[in-house]
Chain A
Amino acid sequence: MSGPSSGCGFLMSVVVHGDLALNEQEKDLNQRLRRLYPAVNEEETPLPRSWSPKDKFSYIGLSQNNLRVHYKGHGKTPKDAASVRATHPIPAACGVYYFEVKIISKGRDGYVKYMGIGLSAQGVNMNRLPGWDKHSYGYHGDDGHSFCSSGTGQPYGPTFTTGDVIGCCVNLINNTCFYTKNGHSLGIAFTDLPPNLYPTVGLQTPGEVVDANFGQHPFVFDIEDYMREWRTKIQAQIDRFPIGEREGEWQAMIQKMVASYLVHHSYCATAEVFAKSTDQAVHEELASIKNRQKIQKLVLSGRMGEAIETTQQLYPSLLELNPDLLFMLKVRQFIEMVNGTDSEVRCLGGRSPKSQDSYPGSPRLFNSPVHKANVITDHLHFLLSPGFDSNYCNGVSSSKGHTLAHSHKSCPRTMPSPELGVLNGSRGQQTNVGAEVEMEVDHFSNGVFLCSKRQLCGGSQAAIERMIQFGRELQSMSEHLRRERGKNSANKKMLKDAFSLLAYSDPWISPVGYQLDSIRREPVCSTLNSAILETHNLPKQPPLALAVGQAAQCLSLMARTGSGSCAFASVDDYLH
C-alpha cells in the first residue's frame, strides 16, 4: 500500500518490461483461479499453476514458464516412460477442480504414441506413465483406455492425438474423476480417489509435446456450468437438512439467538419488541443497553471525542484499565478529525456537533475556497520540518515513527491554541448526553460526498491546528504506552497508518485513504462494545456471531480434511 512496496513493484515491472503479455496471463490466471475456486485459501493450500521442475523424471523437459512439457528420452520401451507432476496438489476446497492439456505434437512416427494424462500422489515413481502404479490414474492417447493404479487399462474413451485438448476434472465432493476431449465430457473414469493428488502427465515418445492450461486461458470445456450443478446440489442438501427433532425447539433457539444479537448490538427498541413478541426475557437492563447504544451511535457517526467522553462517564474505570483500547479510540478520533467528522473539529468548522445534516459532504459549507491552499501547505510544512525524510510522501516506513515524533516538537510555529475547541466540543457533547444522536450511515449514498468538496478537517484552519495538536498528544500517549507496557506492534502500525493520511494532498484518494471510510468505524465500535459487555460479565460476542464464526471455522476444517463440499457452502451466501 505504501511507498516502499510500490517502489518495488515499479522496479519489477522494469525488469520484466519486455514480457507484458506474460503479466497479462498471470493476471488472467489469478482472476480465473479466484473465480473458479473462491473457497481455497492459497496461503494454506496453493493451487497448481505450472509443472514442477523438481518433481519430474529426467526425460522430461519443461519450457514456456513450466507449462510446456516435451519428451527427451529414447522412448524404446516402457522403461523409458517419464512423468511430471504439478507444483502443488489439488486442494479439497476447490470442490471441483479442472485442468486441460493440449497435444501440441504426438511425437515422431514409428513409435507407439504412449501418452497419459491424469493424477498421481506425491512420491509415485516418475519413471512411469500416470495410471500404472498405486495412487496413480491416467487416460492414455494410444488406445483411449483408462488406467486405475494398474498396468492394464479399461476401455474408456476415444483415442487422442495432435491438436486435441484433453481435460481432467476431479470432483472432490464424491471423489471421482472424468475427462473431456475437445470440450465434450467422456463420463466418469475413476471413483474413490484418494486426497491430495497432483495433476500429472506422462510421455514415452520422442518428439511428444503437450501444453498445460491450469487456468492461464479459458477452458474448452464449460467447467463453470458443471460447478453450477454441484453448487445447486450442495445448497439443496443444506436447505433440506433435517433440523430439530422436537417441535418448536429449533424456532425457540433461533429466536433466542436473534434476541441476544439485537441486545448485543444495542438495537434496544427492536430487541424489546422482538423479546416481547417471542415471549423471551432480556438479560440486561434496558438502561444499560441504551447506554451502549448511545456510545455506538457516536462511534458510528464518527464523533469519537464524544464517544470517549461518554464512555468515561458511564463506565469510569473501563478505559483506565484498558489503555490499549483508549489508544485505539483516540487514533480513530484523530482519523475522524482528518475526516472532519469528529465533534472537536466540527465545532471549529463553525457547526454545532449536533447539526444533523452535517458531514463533510454538505457542499454549502465546503464550497468556499477560503483556506484550501494554505491549509495543505501548512500542514505539509508541519510534517516536513527538520529531520523529516521527503520519502515520507511515498508512505510511511516503520522506521519513520520516531522522526514524526521528533518533527512535532521541533515545530512550535504551528502550535494552535486548542482549549476552546476542546471545551466547546466536550461541553456541547456533555449537555447532549441524554439526547438522541443520529447515525450517519448513508452519507455516501446521498451522493453529496464529492471528492472535490472534501477538505482536510472540514476545511477549517482552526480545526487543522487542533488536529495537529491532537496528533502530538497521541504521539506522546503512544510513547508513554510503550514505556509503560512495552512495544506493541499493533498500536505502532495503527498510529503510523493514521499519520500517513497527512502525507497526501487528498487523503481520501490516497493509498491509506481507506481508513477514512465510515465502514472502518465498525470494528472500533464492536471492540468498544465488547469491552463494555465484558465488564458486565456478558459475552463479548453474541451467540449468532459465534455460530457464524463456528460455521466458517467448520468449513476451513472441512477444507483441511478433504471434504470438497465446503467449496459450495460459503457462509456469506447465507448471510445476505
Chain B
Amino acid sequence: MMACLLEAPLRISVLSEVTATSRHYVDRLFDPDPQNVLQGVIDMKNAVIGNNKQKANLIVLGAVPRLLYLLQQSSSSLELRTECAVVLGSLAMGTENNIKSLVDCHIIPALLQGLLCSDLIFIEACLRCLRTVFISPVTPVQLLYTDPTVIPHLMSLLSRSRHTKEYITQIFAHCCKTPEHQTVLFNHSAIQNIAPLLISPSDKVRMQALKCFSVLAYENTQVSMTLVNVLVDGEQLSQVFVRMMQRDKPIEMQLTAAKCLTYMCRAGAIRTDDNCIILKTLPCLVRMCSKERLLEERVEGAETLAYLMEPDVELQRIASFTDHLVSMLADYFKYPSSVSAITDIKRLDHDLKHAHELRQAAFKLYASLGSNDEDIRKKITETENMMDRIVSGLSESSIKVRLAAVRCLHSLSRSVQQLRTSFHDHAVWKPLMKLLQNAPDEVLVMASSTLCNLLLEFSPSKEPILDSGVIELLCSLTQSDSPALRVNGIWALMNMAFQADQKVKVEIVRALGTEQLFRLLSDPDTNVLMKTLGLLRNLLSTRPHIDQIMSSHGKQIMQAVTLILEGEHSIEVKEQTLCILANIADGNTAKELIMTNDDMLQKIKYYMGHSNVKLQLAATFCISNLIWNEEDGSQERQDKLKDMGFVDILHKLTQASDPNLCDRAKTAMQQYLA
C-alpha cells in the first residue's frame, strides 16, 4: 500500500507528458483547414505504427470517434477518408483493449458502410481494418451478420483485387462459427466465389480460401456434398486439397487441407476407403502428430485424426500401425518436460500452456483408435504408463482433459480382456467413482457409460464398486433431465442386477423406489424404457427372488406390465415385457398373480396369435411356465387354461413354420400329455 502511494505521483507525471504529445495529434483532427486535418492524420499514422502506448493514448483521448466521423463524412476528401481507415486499422493492430474500444465506438458499421464507396484503395483500407477487428477473439462475430446486405456485398467485392480476396476470405474464415453462419455464406455462393482462389498465385489468398472451406465444411453435409462436385480449373476440389497436402507445402496448408477432406469424409461426401482419405489425408494427419511439429499443430492434428477415423474401423487399423502413432502419442504426456524447465523460462511457459491441450488431444485420439478393435486396445494399454496416465487424467483440474480421459477409458472398457486385467490392476473404478460425484453432464455421460461396462458380471471391479455405495449414485442419475444420463444410470443398475445376490436386488429396489421405477417405465425415451424393463427382468430371475419381489411389489408390477402391453410400443419393448411376464410365471407364488388375472391371460392369448414370431415365442414361454407339470397346482392351472382355449392355440403353434416356436409349443403340449 505504501509503495503504491509513493509511486503514484511519478506515474501521473509521465502520463501527462505522453498525453501532451498525443493530445496534439488529436487536436489537429479538429483543425478548420481540411489540408491540415489530412496532414494531421498522416502524421498520426506515422506516430502510431508499432507503438502500442501511443495507440492506447490516442484512443483514451477520443481520436476514434473523430476519425470515424471524418471517414464517414462525404465532404471529406477520398484521400482523408482512406488515411482515417489506415490509422484505425493501425489502432486495431494493438492490444485487445484497443479492439474493444474500437468496437464500442461502432467502428464495424461505419467501415461496412465505407465498403459501398467505389474507390478500391479506400475499400481495401476499410477491409484491412475490418479484417483486423474481426479476427480478434474479443469481437462478436455476429456483427458481420446483423445487416443482411453485408455478406452479398462482400461476395461482390471478393474478386476486385488481391487484397480484397485476402481480407474478405480471412474475415469469412474467422467469422463462420455456427451452422447458421455456414448457411448464410453458402446461400450467398461462398463456394463458387471462393473456389477459384484456391489456385491464386498469392500464398496468403490460397491459405485463407482453404481455411474458409475448412470452416464451411465442418459438420455440414450440404456444404460437403456441394464441394465434391466443384471443379477448380478443370480439377476436382478434392484433388486440389490433396495437392495442398504435399509434404513440401507449408504445414498450416497441409493441416488445413487435411481438415477439409476430413470434414467432407465425415459428412459422407467422400468414402472412407477413397484413396484421398486412406493414402493421403490419414498419413498427413499422422505426420502432424509427430514430434517435429509445433505443439499447436500436434493438438489439431490429433483431434482431426480422431474425428476422421471415429466411425471407421479400417481407418483405425491403418492409423494404429502408421508411423508408430500409438507410441508417438505417448510423447504428448511429456510436457512440460524436465528439459524445458531448465533451458528457458519462456519455453516452460509455452509448454505449460499447451500441456493440457496435448493431453486431451492424445486421450481423444486413443479413444478413437481403440473404439472397435481389440488388438489396438491391447496395444494402447501396453503403451508406457498408459493406465496410470488415464487414472491421473480422470482427476485433472481441466474439464477438457477429464472428459477426454474418461472417453479414452470408455473406449478401452469395451474390451473384456482389459476389464479383467489392466482395469482391475489399476483400480480405475476409484477415480471414476470420484469423477461421478461431481462433474458436468458431458463428463457424467461418459463416466457413467464406462461404469456400465465395469459393472458387467465378468468384471472383477464389480464387487468393489458395489461396496462403494454406487447404487444411490446410479439411482440419482435415473432422475436426471438428460436422457443419456437416465439411460446410463438404469443401464448400470440393469448390469448390476444381472445374476446378483438377493441382497443387491433388494437394495436396488429399495434405493430406486417403486415410484421411480414406474416413472421410468413411462419414460419418453425408448432406451430408458428398454433398460428399465431389462432391470426388471434381471431382478425377476431365480424363483425365490421372483416370489419375494412380487410379494411386495406384485400389484404395481402387474399394473405396469398391463399398461405397456396396452400401449403403443415397439415390438422390442413388448417382447421384453412378455419376457418379464414369463419370469413372473416361473415364480411359485407369483404365478397366481397372472392366473387370477383373466385380463392378462387374454393378453397372452392375443400375443400367442400375433404376427410377430418373437412376441408369439415370448407369450408361449409364459404359458409354458404356467402349466409346468412338476409344480404344485399345475393341474388346476392346466384345466383353467384349457378351458380358456390355450390348448387349441398351442396345437396350432406346433404347426408353426418357425422351428423355435414349434418346439416351444410342443414342449408345452407335452405338459398336458404327462
Q: Which residues of A contact B (CB under 8 A)?
A: 157-158, 181, 183-188, 222, 225-226, 228-229, 231-232
Contacts and interface: CB of A to CB of B under 8 A. Distances in A.
B481 interface: no
Interface in B240-272: 246-248
Interface in B267-282: 279-280
Which one of A186, A225, A226, A229 has the greatest number of beta carbons of chain B within 10 Å?
A225
10 contacts: A157-B321, A158-B321, A184-B279, A184-B283, A188-B324, A222-B279, A225-B247, A226-B247, A228-B246, A231-B248
Nearest to B321: A158
A232 B248 contact: yes
Contacts of A181: 321
Contacts of A183: 279
A186 B321 contact: yes
Contacts of A225: 246-247
Nearest to A228: B248
Contacts of A231: 248
Contacts of B280: 222
B248 A229 contact: yes
A226 B283 CA distance: 11
B315 to A, nearest CB: 11
B247 A229 contact: yes
A566 to B, nearest CB: 19
A574 B165 CA distance: 33
Contacts of A158: 321
A232 B321 contact: no
B247 A184 contact: no
Among all A-B residue pairs, the 4 with the closest Cβ atoms: A229-B247, A187-B324, A228-B248, A187-B323
Contacts of A188: 324
Q: What size tier do the contact residues of chain B reach? A: 10 to 19
B313 to A, nearest CB: 15
B323 A185 contact: yes
A300 to B, nearest CB: 36
B318 interface: yes
Given A183-B279, A185-B283, A232 B247 contact: yes
Nearest to B275: A183
B321 A184 contact: yes
A184 B318 contact: yes
Contacts of A232: 247-248
A222 B245 CA distance: 12
B322 A184 contact: yes
Contacts of A226: 247
A483 B248 CA distance: 61
A253 B322 CA distance: 49
A132 B248 CA distance: 37
A228 B243 CA distance: 12
Interface string B318-331: 10011110001000
A186 B322 contact: yes
Contacts of B246: 225, 228
Nearest to B245: A225
B293 to A, nearest CB: 13
Contacts of A229: 247-248
A93 B279 CA distance: 28
B209 to A, nearest CB: 22
Nearest to B280: A222
Contacts of B318: 184
Contacts of B283: 184-185
A185 B322 CA distance: 6
Nearest to A144: B321
Contacts of B328: 187
A432 B328 CA distance: 77
Given A184-B283, A186-B324, A225-B247, 19 more contacts: A181-B321, A183-B279, A184-B279, A184-B322, A185-B283, A186-B322, A186-B323, A187-B322, A187-B324, A187-B328, A188-B324, A222-B279, A222-B280, A225-B246, A228-B247, A228-B248, A229-B247, A229-B248, A232-B247
Contacts of B322: 184-187
Nearest to A225: B247
A228 to B, nearest CB: 4
Interface string B300-322: 00000000000000000010011
B29 to A, nearest CB: 44
A185 B318 CA distance: 10
> Which of B248, B318, B328 has the largest count of A CB atoms less than 10 A from its CB?
B248
Nearest to B317: A158
Nearest to A222: B279
A231 B318 CA distance: 27
Nearest to A220: B279
Contacts of A187: 322-324, 328
Between B280, B283, B318, the greatest number of chain A beta carbons within 10 A of the residue's beta carbon is seen for: B283
Contacts of A185: 283, 322-323
Nearest to B318: A184
Contacts of B321: 157-158, 181, 184, 186
B261 to A, nearest CB: 15
A158 to B, nearest CB: 5
B593 to A, nearest CB: 59
A185 B247 CA distance: 14
Nearest to B379: A155
B287 to A, nearest CB: 9
Contacts of A184: 279, 283, 318, 321-322
A229 B293 CA distance: 13
B316 to A, nearest CB: 13
A245 B357 CA distance: 42
Interface string B370-395: 00000000000000000000000000
B245 to A, nearest CB: 9
Contacts of B324: 186-188
* A183, A184, A185 pick with most chain B CB within 10 angstroms: A184
A229 B247 CA distance: 5
Interface in B88-130: none
A187 B292 CA distance: 14
Nearest to B284: A225
A228 B246 CA distance: 8
B540 to A, nearest CB: 48
A45 B491 CA distance: 70
Interface in B123-171: none
B319 to A, nearest CB: 9
Nearest to A229: B247
A231 B248 CA distance: 8
A30 B318 CA distance: 33
B318 to A, nearest CB: 6
A140 to B, nearest CB: 15
Nearest to B319: A184
A430 B323 CA distance: 74
A186 B325 CA distance: 9
Nearest to A189: B324
A186 B328 CA distance: 12
B148 to A, nearest CB: 45
B215 to A, nearest CB: 26
Interface string B326-362: 0010000000000000000000000000000000000
A158 B322 CA distance: 10
Contacts of A186: 321-324
A276 B523 CA distance: 94
A187 B280 CA distance: 16
A556 to B, nearest CB: 25
A546 to B, nearest CB: 32
A158 B248 CA distance: 29
B182 to A, nearest CB: 32
A157 B323 CA distance: 9
A454 to B, nearest CB: 39
Nearest to A188: B324
B55 to A, nearest CB: 34
A228 B247 CA distance: 6
A166 B323 CA distance: 14
A185 B287 CA distance: 10
Nearest to B247: A229
Give the residue among A183, A187, A222, A231 with the most B Cβ atoms within 10 A.
A187
